[in-house]
Amino acid sequence: MRVTAAFCRLLCLEGVSVRAVVFGADRVVVHVALRRRWLVCPLCSYSTRSRENAQGHESVWRHLDLGVWRLEIRARLRRLACPVHGVRVEGVPFARAGAKLTRDLDDLIAWQATKTDKTTITSLLRIDWHTVGRAVARVGDEHLDDSRLEDLFDIGIDEISWRSGHHFLTLVTDHRAGKIVWGGVGKAAKTADAFFADLDPPDPAGGAVAVATDDEHDAPISAGPITDTPDDKTPLAAVGPRASKLEVISMDMGPGYALSARRNAPQAVICIDPYHVVQLANRALDEVRRSYWNQLRDTDKLGDAKRFKDARWALLKNPADHTDTQAATLRKLRNAGGDVWRAYTLKEALRGIFARGLSVEDVTVLLERFCSRAARSRMPAFVRLGKTIRKHTTGILAAIRTRINNARVEALNNRARLITRRAYGFHSPEAALALIHLTCGPITLTLPHEKHA
């Protein structure tokens, strides 16, 4: 078998013929020619048989390494005049537009980026740091199509911090598929509005549908006074065809996401995640603990203050997870009594309300009792907590009734946080979002050997 024929089968490059193979000191250079006669625009599907001119040099692409040698693909291409994009060098079937890497190498880099950090990839594949980011972006842009936003019924909206300095990303999760389907920069209502804009892009010919809500749906939609309208109801507007399919939207108690959801999908039931309710109770308990600790320091009881500082995790952890030392600390706090112990019992009472097996009616009664106890506690942190829970009771009960919360959303967000920490080289939110979509989104990456099997 000739060397050219062997490399033609070895490389598995679509639509090319191997013309020559040159072995160098550290690389193998394969010269190829396109078999097709039609010239194809690299940015669209336009094709033509007439060429503008020919390149005066060869284009070079990096391919999968051949053992210890770098493998380069070279071809002399033609130029065409696209009516949309102007004069362009023709596209090739084995590489993405504007890339200096073949599709197989792009896919391998993207797959490795979902498993390990960039430094490992650069050392293993002998590429630079920025090449990894560009390859991830190319693969993500190609695979992340508009179909992922079809047939969304139950979604969750939450934010993560992707770098220090209050930089946030808003992520939208499909509860039924268990995938992150959309991401945007920021965590305000404007970011959620951007999601609904992508869900139903403006159509010059129309296409929006008016969604009427009745009294049965008006009640669970409201999660608190989040608008400035006198009757606390967001005025109805035309709703896009995809947004009109949304049945449930789970979120935390921030007003921004709820405002956007009521404006863009008024028929959807807003569910307030119980996890975030208990999280607020933990923060209120920690505020009471810090206040008491500061009182001990101000009264020159430094020894007691130092011992009490170690009680934080005994108070915040679930009792079933306590170590022997933490259990002993909790017993001492119970014997001492005071605001700290009363705050702890309130926190545990609230956590018990969301235990399995309780009906919506039971939770309704217990939440009312808790809010009453919190209002009478004379602890400012828990008085505020009670007011917040009263304001969002409807959304909390909706989460109990529909059994939809942000548990799956939080699990995917933890994976997204792990990705951003592991990569530690992202300087733009777009790069972080691309990798999150590849790892937690509706994209199945295929390795080169699986694709050509």
Contacts of the segment 227-230: beta carbons below 8 A, 24+ positions apart: 227/259, 227/262
SS3 of 296, please?
helix
**pTM of the entire structure?**
0.76
Residue-level pLDDT, tens digit, the chain, 453 residues:
689 999 998 898 989 999 999 999 999 999 999 999 999 999 998 999 998 888 889 999 999 999 899 999 999 999 999 999 999 999 999 999 999 999 999 999 999 988 888 888 999 999 988 898 889 889 988 888 878 898 899 999 988 887 766 788 899 999 998 899 999 888 888 999 999 999 988 765 554 444 444 333 333 333 333 333 334 454 545 788 899 999 999 998 878 898 999 999 999 999 998 888 999 999 999 999 888 877 777 776 666 666 666 688 888 888 888 888 888 888 888 888 888 899 999 999 999 998 888 889 999 999 999 999 999 999 999 999 999 999 999 999 999 999 888 788 888 888 888 877 776 656 678 778 888 888 888 888 888 888 876
- Evaluate whether residue 15 is within a structural domain: yes
- For residue 230, the 8-state DSSP code is T
Whole-angstrom distance, CA of residue 173 vs CA of residue 29: 45
Q: Are residues 362 and 421 in the same domain?
A: no
Token duo for residue 158: 């939450």
Instruction: Please name every residue paired with 171 in a beta bridge, in sequence order, or none if there are none.
Output: 158, 183
Q: Are residues 390 and 309 in the same domain?
A: yes
Crossing angle of helices 118-125 and 129-143, rounded to 10°: 100
**Which structural domain range is residue 349 located in?**
275-402
Taking residue 78's Cβ as centre, other Cβ atoms within 10 Å add up to 14
Structural domain ending residue among the three candidates 80, 96, 112: 96
Instruction: Please name every residue paired with 250 in a beta bridge, in sequence order, or none if there are none.
Output: 156, 271
- Evaluate whether residue 371 is within a structural domain: yes
What b-and-e string marks burial along 110-134, b requiring 16 or more CB atoms within 10 Å of the CB? bbbbbeebbeebbeebebeeebbbb
Token duo for residue 92: 């090739």
Q: Are residues 412 and 387 in the same domain?
A: no
Taking residue 401's Cβ as centre, other Cβ atoms within 10 Å add up to 14
Q: Are residues 352 and 431 in the same domain?
A: no
- Evaluate whether residue 295 is within a structural domain: yes
Q: Are residues 267 and 284 in the same domain?
A: no
Domain count, the chain: 3
Asked if 169 and 429 touch (Cβ cutoff 8 Å), the reply is: yes
Whole-angstrom distance, CA of residue 411 vs CA of residue 405: 12
